[in-house]
Structure 1
């Protein structure tokens, strides 16, 4: 019996958690453990163009989340396998192209994002060129946001400078693998049975409905969530200018009068809206959605020991890296945020926190008591 995509993802995560270092050395044996769907006849549109139907061999995985949820780490799990064509935040280029013209509105940003995702999932990487200035010449990109986070873009034939026996390192790829040949990269993408991407630039799963209902695509969505209090704490540390007033509150214990609270409430509203849509089990999401909490992933002890303890001081300080102690990191926000800020967060985010299984801290003492977790044991079954 053919394996479902949920089994593919769960087995992949389990395999990485148990034996990450072994996965890095695999050359031919797939840790996905499930055969790719059989190839079937393509769908032909009105213009006569042929696209594979949603039961074709290529399966597309979209990691849907928000910033500071651990998505870089999870995305790299998918990135480790040789059969996966992985792209890191391709919608960054849409945002950078449209934000200077923000008067054009959020609907334009969302529409452009869906169009680009559609093209990239079809391995049409030329679609990126519309969002780059100056425009690439002869499909050669002088730069691409975090291209070095994708193994396939740092290997032959896309990057001839890297040889088959070279160890992939992001810092080396940054120097060796530009310009990027989109023609070669597109061809390599078409040869892979799996295409995976992560994005923090689509707010809720409902925004993806047109793509999920498109018979030419076969998208599976993994929505990654995290305790919003932890997200806020991490953003204060990482985006110091953008979250300057929150940082003042954190440091002084006094809430600034001009604080922009939408920076936080939007996280909660988006989580609640997206998860509520999924839990209502609409037909267009059936067989296409799985919800994962960052805190649950951080509990995997073997995974932590194998991959998250930094091997150098530089790695440990890299806020965008994946080498850190996830066990300590998951609830470390409790030692950073003042209790009155936590109380505010809990009042604003009550619906989403209850929905996702995050407990309120009722006192400053309870907040700082790291022996008592504020994360409930809760199971979110995939929508089969």
Structure 2
């Protein structure tokens, strides 16, 4: 009797085990039967696309397999006021790009407002400051400048404290000041603007609301994903112009300004200190040239962020790509007429002869740069583009090409073929 029971239990156990082993095959066969050839059409990078789907709050399959666009989610793009962010990093030529908008009489232009956050919260790492940066931008685009008071300490904020005020056409022109005429194109003379009466922020807010286009230029947004909420916000509908430049030229310019960029470089590197890679970069191998080491190391992170931005845009919905413009510094200074037309068409601004002449003159000056690297001045565009070939060593060029190789490939920059030893 006992042996018979044991045999019975053994048969049940074997049958149960066989059933468990059979279930996955049954389910797999069912899925294949339903999916058919669709299995071959799975995305090659589902994890990235699922992440993008969560980020944009939309279906990641913005482009169908037959080449047609998938239906878009409801996104309000009809507001009268245009909000633009010039997304750049240090030493890419962003000051010149911003100046083209500063000169336009229909643009309310703000130069580096997020600088105040980084100064007030130093030595906070760049990553932890991104939320504050986005919140400030959200307020500024609504012409609410009281947000600046959060980072001013005890200082009373007026127009003589913010937005690169000595070169800002709005602050230095009527009705806030009579140092310049808003409709006249030309660089603002700092000595004349310095004599302007200080104005309360509320007066500047009233001026802000009069302009059809508002442009903010900044270098303190680490990656494009920070700006996604502002692009999705129906009251802002942010448009982005992202400026790129040959990483070797950026590196050369950063080294030229290394003392001014040490603090920011350390803050950028600290934002990635949790990984072994960036821990290594935060410990300079040559302690005698710490400034150069920090500035050089941050260049590696800059290329990483550029690549992330390009992947984000590539996998974004169609309405995002329509509100994003990629711009290369080299194209801007070599072909200013065409690029100016492209940018202003994107932002729905009109072009006119005086502004075209201004852009042309600014790119056909004498020499590469002045003694003050952050000063906007007329320069020789070709010399500015290729100066890195003469100023960087072969080792420095090879290093940048090594960790920026994919970015260079995507942007169309060819690797160096000149051997300086010959």
| TM-score, normalising length: structure 2 | 0.64
**Residue of structure 2 equivalent to 1:213:** 232
**Residue of structure 2 equivalent to 1:85:** 108
Contact 2:98 2:217 in 1 (8 A): yes
Contact 1:158 1:180 in 2 (8 A): yes
Change (3 A) 1:148 1:242: closer
**Residue of structure 2 equivalent to 1:48:** none
In the TM superposition, residue 71 of structure 1 has moved relative to its aligned partner by 0.7
Q: Going by fraction, where is helix more abundant, 1 or 2?
A: 2
Contact 1:159 1:177 in 2 (8 A): yes
**Residue of structure 2 equivalent to 1:299:** 334
Change (3 A) 1:83 1:242: closer
- Secondary structure of 1:155's match? coil
**Cα deviation 1:274-309 (Å, max 9, x = unaligned):** 112112233562321010011111212776752234
Alignment of structure 1 residues 229-268 onto 2, 5 Å: 229-240=248-259, 257=286, 259-260=293-294, 262-268=297-303
Contact 1:92 1:145 in 2 (8 A): no
Structure (1 or 2) with the larger CA radius of gyration: 2
Contact 1:308 1:322 in 2 (8 A): no
Contact 1:121 1:217 in 2 (8 A): yes
**Cα deviation 1:221-257 (Å, max 9, x = unaligned):** 00000011110100111224757xxxxxxxxxxx964
Contact 1:233 1:337 in 2 (8 A): yes
| TM-score, normalising length: structure 1 | 0.70
Cα separation, 1, equivalents of 2:395 and 2:369: 33
Cα separation, 2, equivalents of 1:142 and 1:119: 20
**Cα deviation 1:99-140 (Å, max 9, x = unaligned):** 14x2xx54541111111111111111222122112242xx63
For structure 1, the residue ranges without an aligned partner over 5 or more in a row are 1-52, 244-254, 369-384
Change (3 A) 1:76 1:217: same
RMSD: 3.0
Q: 1:188 and 2:223 equivalent?
A: no
In the TM superposition, residue 267 of structure 1 has moved relative to its aligned partner by 1.5
In the TM superposition, residue 332 of structure 1 has moved relative to its aligned partner by 1.0
Aligned residue among 160, 163, 167 for 1:149: 167
**Residue of structure 2 equivalent to 1:61:** 84
**Residue of structure 2 equivalent to 1:40:** none
Change (3 A) 1:267 1:159: same
Q: 1:328 and 2:383 equivalent?
A: yes
Aligned residue among 126, 132, 139 for 1:119: 139
Aligned residue among 321, 332, 347 for 1:286: 321
Equivalent pairs, count:
299
